Each structure stands twice: as C-alpha cells, then as structure tokens.
Amino acid sequence: MKNIVTTILCLLTMALLFLFFVQERTSVIKLKPLNGVYVDVPQPEFNMKSFSSGTYQANLEKHLRYHFGFREVLIRLYNQYAWDFFHKSMNQTIKLGREDWIYGKREFDNYFISYMYNITPDRSVMKAKFDKEAARLYKVQRILDEYDVFLFMTLLPGKEFVYPEYLPEFEGPMKEPFHAIEYYPEVFDSLGVRYIDVLQIFKGWKGKTDYPLYPKTGGHWSFVASAMAFDTIIRYVERESGLNLRNIRIGDVHPGETMVPDNDLENLLNLFRPIQPNQNYYADAQVVLDSTASKPEFILIGDSYFWNWTKSVPLASVFSHYYYWYYNSTVHYNPRGKHTSELDILREILNVKIIDLSYSPVQLYVFSNGFLPKALLYLTHEDAEIEAKIDEIASTLDKPEEEKRKSAMDLLFSAPEDYFPDLAADGVPSTRNSRIGEIRNH
C-alpha cells in the first residue's frame, strides 16, 4: 500500500511538473496577465563561451524567473496571501494607507518631502527651473493670443493633497519639503500667467459632495469628479477667452460596479479578489445643445488624468477634434500613434483654438515636457535659423556622426535661451516666424 501511494505521488508530481513545462512553452491555458510594467527577458543564446563563463546560466535563470508556467496564478496567490494575512503589498510603486486607501509611492514621497530631490537637492536650482518655465509659458501665451489661440495651464489636484488624512505614516528620512504645486501659483500670479488651480477647487469641494473626489483604490480623480472638473474648466475657458463652448450636464450620481481607472492602483496589487468593502460612484454626462456654441479643436498636453475624461465626458460632442499629447510624447486621438517629434509644432498649435497644459502635483517638476521651449523657439525664429543653429551645435559635439543631429536638437529644444539670447530677455519677444502667416492663411 505504501509503495502504491508513493508511486501515485511521484506520478502526480511528474504530471504537475510536465504541466508547468507545457504551460511555459505553449501557454495552452490562457491566463489573465499581470498588471504593471513588464520588461521581457529573452531566452539567452547557448554557446560554449557563455556556458563556460557562467553568463548563460545566469541569463537563463533570469529568463525562467519571468517565464515559468502558471507564473501569473502563483504570483496572484502569493500576493493574496500577503494581503490577507499581513495586509502587505508586494508592489514597491504603491503605498497602502489608512482604511485600505491606496496611494502611488511617488505621490506619497512628494507630499512628505518633494519630488524635487529626484532632480536636484538644491532648492534654488529648482526654483530657477520653475521660474524659467513659467516665463516661457507667459511668453507663449501672449504670442498665441495674437493668433486667437487660447493657451492656459491647469494645476491638477492630487489624491495625496486632497485626502492626506488617509496617507500612511512617513518613516523618513525627512528632508525640507518643497512643493511645485505651492510654488508655481506664486510665480504665475507675479507674471500674469493664465491658469486654473483645480487642487484648490477640490479642497473647497471636499466634504460637500455626495461622491468621493478620489477613489480609495485609484490614483486619479474619480469618474464623477473628473466630469465636474471638466465642466469647471470649460466654464473657465469661456470666461477668460470669450468663446462660447458647448457645456455638459451631469446626471444623478449613483453607485456602480467599479470601472477603470477607478481601481488602477488596486490592479497593481495583482490580487485574486477585489478589495472590500469599496464603493465607487458614477453619473452620465450629456452635452447641452446650443446652436450658437462652437466646437473648436483642442490640444491637451499633460499627464494621465486625461484618460478619465475619455470615459466620463462626451469629448467628441464638445470639440470638433481633440488631440492628447501624452507627456508631450505619444499623440492619442486624431491621429493616433505618432510622436510629437514627428509633428510640425508650429502648424499644430496654430491650427487649434484651445491648448491646455495639464499637470498633477508630482508631474509639475517636469512641467510641459519640453513643449514650451520648442514652441517659443518656433514661434519667434525662422525655420532656417533653427536648422542652422542645430548644424552649428552638432559640429561642436564629440559624438558619432549619426548621433550628432539628435543630440544637437535635444540641447537646443531643451534650452533655446542659451543659443538665442533674445528669448531670455524680459518681456515677450518681438520677432515672429514668417511661416505663421502661411499657416494662418492656408
């Protein structure tokens, strides 16, 4: 009897190992993929040199760590065990707060100290960077005003600033805090920059709404709050620009099954079961028909808060076309998939009516992602001048020929004031790119 049991256990073990092997090689059973950033580790190539040096074995181990059979199931099982028994997350990019509130680690660190320390330890250096970017914004705003293009800045709220009472305790080490979200309004006000501070608006709404402004398990404004914010921002644009835009009407708020992205941080936990109890709220938004209202073209340059609008607001009924320049890199919607470096920036910004630079507190440290210096340069200088300067910079670089032009463009577009001193002067530059007239008259 003992031999039979041993044999059965051995056969079951071999069958299980074989099943893991088959799953690894064929993925015959389709499993729900893990959420989060995934960096593939390819199968290493076998040869005697890599084998004898040990690099093949090391790389094979790394590969198998990410490709063993039923990896997704086993990781979710382990994560669920850590959550249920220790209330612990295995994802290092999020922080578990009080009462099961979840925050991004970057936002957590920024609230208690500052994301500044990921860039520089010197506050004066950071302030100088902010001052320069704010001055660029002022100049580009005023130049675009000449061509009836309304450019403004949206200071987005942040979960950590709206609901700090649910943040976990900060364990240090403590450094002197410095927040871009507090510094930028001071500079904007001193320069006369157009902006709307939605963080302060959310703080005013807090405790007065029948829905949460942020979901417990998400990193962005809630479904209903994003629609309310859109309505507020559109009315701000109408007031400041004189445009008559289509407004939205938000229906009754009701509880509903959680929708993405209200649980985007929870998804990063990669659990088997949703966190309970947790209730999210939703409402339908419809456009108020107005035959006198315009449907302008619109560009939003900024971070991922825009994704909520694509779900909570009928954008296609408000704008004739809308373009989302995700961190001023990939272009989404009309057209999709291009990179902003492939675009004629002058033509793009002059052929729309409204441009919104939209950044949350932790993203303000890289505010505009290079859009403003490049826009300022092309609005004020001829294309031929810019090309000549790129060639001049490239000729001074000690790099391979195929890398010189790209590096020269990066240097020029990140700090055009270093190469065109008129852009660094106080006030709005007086020169204009002659191609503006061609674009406007087209």
Give residue-wise pLDDT tens across range 254-287. 999 888 889 999 999 989 888 877 889 999 999 9
Give residue-wise pLDDT tens across range 290-337. 999 999 999 999 999 999 999 999 999 999 999 999 999 999 986 667
Alpha carbons 229 and 397: distance in angstroms, whole number: 47
The listed range with the strongest mean pLDDT (13-17, 154-158, 278-282) is: 154-158
Q: Any idea which of 68-77, 111-120, 152-161 has the lowest mean pLDDT?
A: 68-77
Q: Any idea which of 59-63, 71-75, 164-168, 337-341 has the lowest mean pLDDT?
A: 59-63
Alpha carbons 3 and 432: distance in angstroms, whole number: 91
**Quick one: which of 77, 104, 79 has its CA closest to 90?**
79
Give residue-wise pLDDT tens across range 171-203. 877 888 899 999 999 999 999 999 999 999 999
Question: Exposed, middle or buried: residue 24 (CB in 10 Å: 0-12, 13-18, 19+)?
Answer: middle
pLDDT band of 213, cuts 50, 70, 90: very high
pLDDT value at residue 41: 65
Q: Specify the pTM.
A: 0.88
Is there a contact between 409 and 363 (Cβ–Cβ < 8 Å)? no
Other C-beta atoms closer than 10 Å to the C-beta of 194 total 18
At how many degrees (to 10) do helices 383-395 and 401-414 cross?
Answer: 120
Give me the half-sphere count of Cα atoms (radius 13 Å) on the Cβ side of residue 347.
9
